[in-house]
Amino acid sequence: MDKRASDLHLRALAPPILRIDGVLVQQDLPPISAKEIEEILTSITKSEQMDIFQHDMELDFVYAVPGIARFRVNALMQKGTISLAFRLIPYEILSIDKLGLPQICKQLVLKPRGLILVTGPTGSGKSTTLAAMLDYLNENQSRNIITIEAPVEYVHGNKKSIVIQRDLGNDTKSFAAALVHSLRHDPDVVVLGEMRDLETIAVALTAAETGHLVLSTLHTSDAAQTIDRIIDVFPPAQQQQVRLQLSQVLQAVLSQTLLQRIGGGRVAAFEIMIANSSIRNLIREGKTFQLPNAMQLGTKDGMQTFDQALADLGRKHIVREEEAMSKSSNTEQLSKILRSMTV
């Protein structure tokens, strides 16, 4: 917390390592022995959790340090010893404004129904974005919100809304089963920690179709890849029907990545795809390769591509140009945008 690190890594025969502003920094501390790391894991888990770890040789759980923070912990075996990774989850849920998220997040999360997806690589801040959006909804509307997470990360109290948070493993056996049963619990909004498999995606689409607002995450890098990933999960015979279903229920895809900010810290760049009539047609017709062009032309609806977002951060001198280039999948296109901004 003092060093503003996002992650802590503990491995046998190595000193502790922190990830600070995205960079791994070895700490000036003695190496940890295999016995010490086993004692650490034993001291922060319940006996049932240790039983699971000894059986599966891996474990995900949340560990809280009262008054400081909560941590999402992953334990696994490597070369016969235990390795631990701690991800910081602050007690405070930062607002959309404090995080500098796109203002359209506020409009999207107040939608009465449909599917909103937050995507990006591991460690890009998806959970933080989702928590901020959920907190805004909680403060502004009266809804019955059910979250299904593995594990529960940010803790939401009741404000204007009722919030029920279910932990995969402790409160339910699977995302798909939890989602099916949660739909019988009179929800207005369902938040899925991740759309992991065909069964979960199918139920999520049906939930959005039947009048619920569904928010979830995917480990995809941009909007077009997100649509392809969802469609490709299904057998070929079902894919056209899923395209139609997705085109009808999708509200937006927010894809994010983190960049090093000039002067320290990190900032998120967002690709924003809003499901207007043009986007819905392209999804229905399977023309995902045309989505980036549609987003470039859809700025009046609040859309932007990654390259537009990266160029804006570079123009405002929030990030260095080479940092923006390193995150772009089309550096030639980004160079053109940057040059046009300086003319």
In the chain, domain spans:
5-89, 96-304
Q: What secondary structure, in 3-state letters, does the chain show?
A: CCCCEEEEEEEECECCEEEECCEEEECCCCCECHHHHHHHHHHHCCHHHHHHHHHHCEEEEEEEECCCEEEEEEEEEECCEEEEEEEEECCCCCCHHHHCCCCHHHHHHCCCCEEEEEECCCCCCHHHHHHHHHHHHHHHCCCEEEEEECCCCCCCCCCCCEEEEEEECCCECCHHHHHHHHCCCCCCEEEECCCCCHHHHHHHHHHHHCCCEEEEEECCCCHHHHHHHHHHCCCHHHHHHHHHHHHHHEEEEEEEEEEECCCCCEEEEEEEEECCHHHHHHHHCCCHHHHHHHHHHCHHHCCECHHHHHHHHHHCCCCCHHHHHHHCCCHHHHHHHHHHHHC
Chain segment 1-49, per-residue pLDDT in tens: 999 999 999 999 999 999 999 999 999 999 999 999 999 999 999 999 9
Cα separations (Å) of 194 from 148, 158, 190, 236? 9, 23, 12, 23
Determine the pLDDT at residue 342. Answer: 60
* Average pLDDT for the chain: 94
Determine the pLDDT at residue 222. Answer: 94
Return the CATH fold of 5-89: Beta-Lactamase (3.30.450)
pLDDT band at 106 (very low <50, low <70, confident <90, very high): very high
Least trusted range by pLDDT, from 4-13, 41-50, 258-267, 334-343: 334-343
| Angle value at C-alpha 319, between 317 and 325, nearest 5 degrees | 120
Instruction: Tell whether the model's pLDDT for residue 343 goes beyond 70.
Output: no
- The letter for the amino acid at 129 is T
pTM for this prediction: 0.90
CATH superfamily of 96-304: P-loop containing nucleotide triphosphate hydrolases (3.40.50.300)
